[in-house]
């Protein structure tokens, strides 16, 4: 028996703005930043937060900011009809991934062609792919001879971390820099640029 939490699916929401869902698996600082940025926005709203973990801190952030949220486990993602119904009833137009660690199924990508964005905390196509998330990415960058890192915002398609890149910003890795420090500086770039890139991409 599947239970979706906090989502009201009985009434169709009014259709006036572009309604985006933000997917996050952990802390959700980017999710919160996006919700705050689009609060009161004329064309776009963050209408739903999706996570795969019941204990993800992003759920607390969503609740505090009055955004409906739903936990969808890996097993529930396999129930295509149910998932399609959930997104249809919530009138979701597009998806923004912000630290979401579950692979998006092909049927869902087909449902939202070129309407799913992701942010990666390095300069793709380097330092991406399976297992490259969080501190793993920053450690790999520091242990390489790259000398720089940054953020990549890209369209999500069937190839993991390989969809069309729409935005990058780079920074120099400092001499002797720790992965933790690099992560902090990259997070600042993410918070600064992700909302405006999402805004530009989804504004009709």
Q: Which residues bind ligand GRF (CB under 6 A)?
A: 24, 26-31, 98-99, 119-121, 190
CB of residue 193 to ligand GRF, shortest distance in Å: 11
Whether the upstream peptide bond of residue 125 has omega within 30° of 0, thus cis, is: yes
When the beta carbons of 89 and 162 are compared against ligand GRF, the nearer one is 162
When the beta carbons of 172 and 184 are compared against ligand GRF, the nearer one is 184
CB of residue 121 to ligand GRF, shortest distance in Å: 4
Enclosing H/E stretch for 51: strand 44-51
- Tell me if residue 120 is catalytic: yes
Alpha-carbon separation of residue 111 from 44, 75, 116, 173 (angstroms): 20, 19, 10, 39
Alpha-carbon distance 135 to 157, whole Å? Answer: 24
When the beta carbons of 39 and 79 are compared against ligand GRF, the nearer one is 39
When the beta carbons of 16 and 201 are compared against ligand GRF, the nearer one is 201
Which of 41, 120, 138, 154 is catalytic? The answer is 120
Task: Report which residue's Cβ sits closest to ligand GRF.
Answer: 99
Q: How many CA within 13 A on the CB side of residue 69?
A: 27
CB of residue 156 to ligand GRF, shortest distance in Å: 11
Query: Are 25 and 101 within 8 A, CB to CB?
Result: yes
CB of residue 122 to ligand GRF, shortest distance in Å: 8
Helix (H, G, I), strand (E, B) or coil at 133: coil
Catalytic site positions: 120
């Amino acid at each position: 028996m599947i239970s979706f939490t906090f989502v009201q699916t009985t009434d169709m929401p009014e259709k006036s703005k572009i309604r985006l869902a933000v997917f996050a698996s952990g802390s959700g600082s980017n999710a919160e930043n996006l919700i705050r940025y689009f609060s009161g926005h004329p064309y776009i709203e963050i209408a739903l937060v999706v996570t795969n973990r019941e204990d993800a801190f992003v759920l607390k952030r969503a609740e505090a900011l009055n955004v409906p949220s739903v936990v969808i486990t890996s097993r529930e993602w396999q129930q295509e009809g149910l998932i399609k119904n959930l997104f249809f009833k919530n009138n979701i137009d597009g998806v923004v991934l912000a630290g979401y660690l579950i692979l998006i199924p092909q049927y869902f990508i087909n449902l939202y062609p070129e309407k799913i964005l992701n942010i990666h905390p390095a300069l793709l196509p380097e330092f991406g792919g399976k297992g490259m998330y969080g501190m793993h990415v920053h450690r790999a960058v520091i242990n390489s001879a790259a000398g720089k890192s940054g953020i990549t915002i890209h369209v999500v398609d069937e190839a993991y971390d390989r969809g069309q890149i729409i935005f990058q910003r780079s920074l120099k890795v400092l001499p002797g820099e720790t992965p933790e420090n690099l992560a902090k500086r990259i997070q600042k770039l993410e918070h600064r640029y992700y909302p405006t890139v999402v805004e530009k991409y989804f504004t009709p």
